[in-house]
Amino acid sequence: MHVIDSHTGGEPTRVILDGAPDLGSGPLAERARRLATEHEAFYRSVMLEPRGQPAMVGALLVAPVDPTCATGVIYFDVDAVLGMCGHGTIGLAVTLAHMGRIGVGRHRVETPAGVVTVELLDRNTVTVTNIESRRVRQSVAIDVPGYGEVTGDVAYGGNWFFIVDPSPIPVNPGNIPKLTDMTVAIREASIAQEVGGEEGEPIDHVIVQDASPDTLVHSRNFVLCPDDNYDRSPCGTGSSARLACLAADGRLTPGQEIVQESVIGSTYRLSYQPGRNGGVIPSITGQAFVMAESKLLFDESDPFRTGIKA
């Protein structure tokens, strides 16, 4: 299996070029469903240790339905197939440029959540124009065992987020274990109390926001992903959901740019324009760097061929 690894703000992406199961040629949402339900062993084997690493997201290249798109892509982590991935799309664009498949300029990419636009500004810098993002519920109080009542917004940016602002625990690298435990508890409570999307979609990510010591930075976040690892980047889909909340509250105007920082200090530049359906069209600019190009081997005699599941 030929793969290219990159990182976006410290968050790894593994682009899979070949060796994946045949998912057919239908809509990407249907192909993503097939990957999730019929090929879990495949995608988990690519992400799990010893072959993968915590927080890595896979990006499976597939043929797009829309012929104007440079590629189709299905994202996944060790625990779930994702609708969209912001850091992964930045990493994908830099990887496609590394392969010579795209150059500086604007390109369309088809995802299960819809078509997004990437603009390659240079070999490492990419602006992603995401799908329309929206806040679904404001100031929802949930009872979180061990933490009491926690209030947050439910928003969609390609994945489903529960966003807490301000964080009950300071967002800094020294608190990562505490932040992880708390956000896992928040997500479990949101699911148990049926707090989610309009159609009952469960929360898959949790964001807690805090101030940054850097006066040029709007805020710092900690983002819990479906696999219970934290996002090393500021999270592209999470930043999109956050923009929808800021816009809905009148705290950010169209075109106004802010800097969002992750818990480890990596940054995205964010802005938005109004969407057609009352939400926002997010713009996310970040940098990615290719780290490795390799072939993954799956030896039948390897006892950990499908990954370490402990």
Q: pLDDT band for position 310 (50/70/90)?
A: confident
Catalytic residue among 69, 225, 235, 245: 235
Task: Kindly state the average pLDDT of the residues 249-270.
Answer: 98
Query: Taken in order 216, 205, 249, 253, is the CA torsion positive or negative?
Result: positive
pLDDT at 249 over 80: yes
Task: Kindly state the average pLDDT of the residues 261-288.
Answer: 98
All structural domains of the chain, each given as residue ranges with its CATH number in brackets, are 2-131+290-295 (3.10.310.10), 134-274 (3.10.310.10)
Q: Looking at beta carbons, which pairs linking 62-68 to residues 24 or more positions away fall under 8 Å? A: 62/23, 62/28, 62/31, 63/25, 64/28, 64/109, 64/110, 65/25, 65/26, 65/27, 65/28, 65/110, 66/108, 66/110, 66/115, 68/108
Find the farthest-apart pair of alpha carbons in the chain and give their distance in angstroms, rounded: 59
Task: Kindly state the average pLDDT of the residues 114-129.
Answer: 97
Task: Kindly state the average pLDDT of the residues 112-135.
Answer: 97
In the three-class reduction of DSSP (H, G, I as helix; E, B as strand; rest coil), residue 295 is classed as strand
pLDDT at 54 over 90: no
pLDDT in tens, 129-162: 999 999 999 999 999 999 999 999 999 999 999 9
Percent of the residues in the chain that have a pLDDT greater than 70, as a whole number: 100
Q: pLDDT band for position 97 (50/70/90)?
A: very high
The confidence score (pLDDT) of residue 130 equals 95
Given a contact cutoff of 8 angstroms between Cβ atoms, the answer to whether 44 and 126 are in contact is no
pLDDT in tens, 17-46: 999 999 999 999 999 999 999 999 999 999
The confidence score (pLDDT) of residue 309 equals 86
Judge whether 245 counts as a catalytic residue: no
Distances (CA, A) of 265 to 11, 72, 92, 163, 223: 12, 31, 22, 19, 13
In the three-class reduction of DSSP (H, G, I as helix; E, B as strand; rest coil), residue 287 is classed as strand
DSSP string, 250-265: TSS-TT--EEEEETTS
Beta strand 125-129 pairing with 205-210: unpaired
- Determine if the pTM surpasses 0.85: yes
Catalytic residue among 69, 85, 225, 245: 85
